[in-house]
A and B are shown apart, each in its own frame.
Chain A
Amino acid sequence: MTTTASAAPARVFGSGIRRREDPRLLTGTARYTADFVLPGMAHAAILRSAHGHARLRGVDTSRAKKAPGVIAVYTGADTASVLKPIPCAWLIPNSDLKAAPFGPLATDLVRFVGDAIAVVVAESEYQAYDALELIDVDYEALPAVVDPQKAAAPGAPQLHAEVPGNVAFHWTVAGGDIEAAFNSATVVIRDRIIQQRLIPTAMETRGAVAQFTPATGELTLWNTTQNPHIARFILSIVTGVPEDRLRVVAPEVGGGFGSKIAQIQGDFVTAFCSMKLGLPVKWIETRSENYQSTTHGRDHVQQVELAANKSGQILGLRCTVWAGMGAYLSTAAPGIPTILHGLMLSGAYNVPAVKEDVYGMYTNTTPVEAYRGAGRPEATFILERLLDLLAHKLQMDPVEVRRKNLIPPFDNGHDVVTGLKYDSGNYQRTLDKALEHIGYDKLRTEQAAARMKGRYLGIGVTTYVEICGLGPSQVAGAVGFQGGLWESAIVRFHPSGKVNVFIGASPHGQGEETTFAQIVADELGVGVEDVKIVHGDTDNTPMGWGTYGSRTTAVGGAALAVATRKIKEKAKLLAGHLLEAAVEDIDYSDGKFFVKGFPDRHKTIQDIALMANVAWNMPQGMEAGLEASSFYDPPNFTFPFGAHVAVVEIDPVTGHVELKRYVAVDDCGPQINPVIVEGQVLGGVVQGIGQALWEGAVYDSNGQLLTGSLADYAIPRADLLPDIEVLSTVTPSPHHPLGVKGIGEAGTIASTATVYNAVIDALQPLGVVSIEMPLTPERVWRAIKHAKGRDNDTQPVA
């Protein structure tokens, strides 16, 4: 590569280059788990419980075993002696946490619709599903409970004998003097918020292909996972196959949004079948099966109250949350309504006192897990909802109330009441930018004029701060996470100067094959096209904890940056040796190592890579090769933030909500690839809008999932949305080697509350103060009808 000093190329860091992932995805040549076909492969289909809660009096597989093409049928009686229960990996301390055993196949009781009962292995997929119909299950139906608050009531059906009262854990966060806050308050605002249960709906369902080789005892699992190394760890625990003989491959993965973090029943059952039969076995969920058996998200009942003084200053926030956990505790589930939620309760504001009680409740529903935002949307919503109610109560503008309480700008640490230290923030700047862009003052004028004409325009404004870049492993351990939270990268120069990077994280649509190549190109002056990022296969990547919580770039990107800097240090030493200069006299610029003051006396990084690889002339004691690895454990979390504004119009006759405009201003620090950042915001915002307006998993009182297919569960469609206007500010993280913070979840964290507040704002003249999400036309219409004629009291009844 030749570059001249005069024509400095545009910096690749910060450039919106095209994604290198895309050609394979656009041509149908990418391979997802379902696309793998192995010689002799058999197909598995899993029988799911049709009841929310039932005793299994008998499972008769005799007819199924005789069906055409059937190789084997297994039930819990077969797996119980081989597979261990699926472990929960986030055991929150000081919460009396009780993790009930979660069998890969149920034995005596089923506890949710979708609980796995039996598996058929057949020569073809169609034959496997045919045979599934021939399994006779004798259920003794038991009373079920699906609402997390009702599960806590005396006399509620009990899910697990060892968990009295269905309380999986009770966790508390407290900071400041909450009693004094409420005692001195002149205004107290209360609300009851239902953060409805959501179904993540990654377009690719879950599935696995397992290949066990009896002769060697080796097991390979191609798996739809966001974290292959965690998958291997847990798979090893459950199957007993030692980690060194276990290989987990996350091939192309079709989105996750949290639903591919946990190891689920089907993964273990598929592995079991392969181990038992010595054949490769494939299991791919149908969508309806996915809705029943793969993890859900949210599901909080929140009783919240805010203490303030009459000038609108927040004094304290007190909450009780009943968090539905489903029938079992999924891999990371207990950490979500606690660490990722409770610790973020004070948001972007000065909140002197906070107290929250979280009851994790077992219910006869699909287990919950992280779902995009995971805990933080549920926290953001509380504050943003209460601040709007406070503003209304005090007859203040919602923006004014926020401005009164925002934490002033800081660039190197700010302690908040929950015990966290935010890294950097300038919340006013994002708010100002959002308001200016949307023309807030003018909008309020328009709104007033529209109201005069009987039109219901609404404006919602939200600021948020989120916790990302999980996180220091020491903290992970202290809060009961049964793993580390560092990330890793290996940077390997080949003799030709081309680079392979091996990372422990496992992106699945976020574009790190591109952005990580940009990091390497920027740090070492190689062409971005000369860097290939390898991920997803535990056999050829270093240990890493996975892609979730907006952490891949925030933690894995840091690992990569550190590794490239180690490369640079070694290259400098070697350059000094080759140029016969002291290392102190070697400077680096744009891929070249040169003698200070003599730019012509230089070695390119490619020269160095070649010499290091052939090793003909190395300094005394220097090892051959140009390769470096880093295991990066961050000193703190990162805290991205932003401000969003939505404008809606409601048709009071039909209750239809039209989203007219949406402005997002997010700050994730320096952007490696602004096009990809924008893409993350766009997708995230729309997912949050989905929660506000359309999405909700509905169970009946027996635990039947009524929204059990894509025909019944409404994810956003193209024709329902306006163009989202995406802007940003840049506030670097002080502790991150590249200053970056993470952007995967930002949009979702802000947009649900923003749209919700806009709808309620629109309906203020009608006296509507609260509507349960999703804000479907029917619910909005009912709220309007209900509110009409009622006293226009702003304080909802708790």
Chain B
Amino acid sequence: MRCSVTISVNGRPYHQEVEPRLLLVHFLRDAGLTGTKIGCDTSQCGACTVLLDGVSLKSCTTLAVQADGASVTTIEGLAVNGELTALQDAFWASHGLQCGFCTPGMVFAAHEILRSNPRPSPEEIRHGLEGNMCRCTGYQNIVKAVQTAAADPRMAQTGARR
């Protein structure tokens, strides 16, 4: 059985006939948006985190059919013409990534922290990152990146939306 879905990803509609069991993360990756990563099979690692209608979500916990009609933002949808958003730039400035595999998910976890709390304390940031795993950085520079982004006036202007 196949179901027809339309999901807007990074502002572009994707019409697909999909199996009902297809995970959103596979939908995205099959559409060529491979920036979203898969790091586990138990929804622990958070590498697949994206925005669904503006709210962060592990895209391995959602079926593509559940996202029918929704808007998804993936890591490819942030920078415009290579110009990084304030949040991406903060990760760069803070050395908040090494191998980069967890990074797309981390960026959206960070986005969610700042969306719900524009001035988080380091403890609040660490708590907000607990659903995302990184094996390279020890998290410290990711915490720093979120703090750096929080202090960046661009965050207030463009909002965490972009």
Contact = CB atoms under 8 A, between A and B. Distances in A.
Contact of B103 (A25, A715, A716): A25
Determine the interface band of chain B, counting residues with CB < 8 A from chain A.
35 or more
Nearest to A726: B140
A30 interface: yes
Contacts of A715: 133, 135
Interface in B122-162: 122, 125-127, 129-130, 132-143
A28 B42 contact: no
A701 B44 CA distance: 27
B40 A709 contact: yes
B42 A26 contact: no
A364 B79 CA distance: 49
A653 interface: no
B40 to A, nearest CB: 4
Contacts of B5: none
B64 interface: no
Interface in B78-115: 78-79, 82, 84, 88, 91-93, 95, 97-104, 107
A35 B75 contact: no
Counting chain B CB atoms within 10 Å of each CB, the highest count among A35, A125, A203, A287 belongs to A203
Interface string A20-39: 01111111111110110100
B75 A682 contact: no
A203 B106 CA distance: 12
Interface in B14-43: 19, 21-22, 26, 29, 32-42
Nearest to A678: B95
Given A34-B34, A257-B135, A710-B45, A22 B91 contact: yes
Contacts, number: 178
Contacts of A32: 34, 37, 101
B126 to A, nearest CB: 4
Nearest to B127: A719
A685 interface: yes
A142 B99 CA distance: 41
A252 interface: yes
B76 interface: yes
B97 to A, nearest CB: 6
A709 B135 contact: no
A254 B100 contact: yes
Interface residues of A, number: 58
A27 B78 contact: yes
A679 B47 CA distance: 20
A713 to B, nearest CB: 9
Nearest to A288: B41
Contacts of B135: 200-203, 255, 257, 683, 687, 715
A718 interface: yes
A288 B39 CA distance: 10
B95 A721 contact: no
Given A34-B34, A683-B137, A29 B91 contact: no
B56 interface: no
A286 B41 contact: yes
Contacts of A25: 97, 99-100, 103
B49 interface: no
B98 A709 contact: no
Chain A interface secondary structure, helix, strand, loop or mixed? loop
Contacts of A676: 95
A32 B122 CA distance: 31
Contacts of A200: 135
B125 to A, nearest CB: 8
B35 A205 contact: no
Nearest to A24: B100
Given A710-B45, A718-B126, A718-B130, A26 B138 contact: no
A31 B97 contact: no
Contacts of B34: 28, 31-32, 34-35
B74 interface: yes
Contact of A252 (B36, B40, B100): B100
A37 B32 CA distance: 9
A26 B19 contact: no
Given A22-B92, A26-B92, A27-B35, A710 B133 contact: yes
Contacts of B138: 682-687, 716, 721, 724
Contact of B79 (A19, A27, A257, A684): A27
Nearest to A684: B138
A396 B143 CA distance: 39
A395 B45 CA distance: 46
26 contacts: A18-B92, A19-B95, A25-B99, A28-B35, A28-B74, A30-B100, A32-B34, A37-B32, A126-B26, A202-B135, A203-B39, A203-B133, A204-B39, A204-B99, A204-B101, A253-B99, A287-B39, A509-B98, A679-B136, A683-B136, A685-B138, A710-B44, A711-B44, A718-B127, A721-B140, A724-B140
Closest 7 CB pairs of A and B: A28-B35, A25-B100, A509-B99, A254-B101, A686-B138, A28-B75, A35-B34
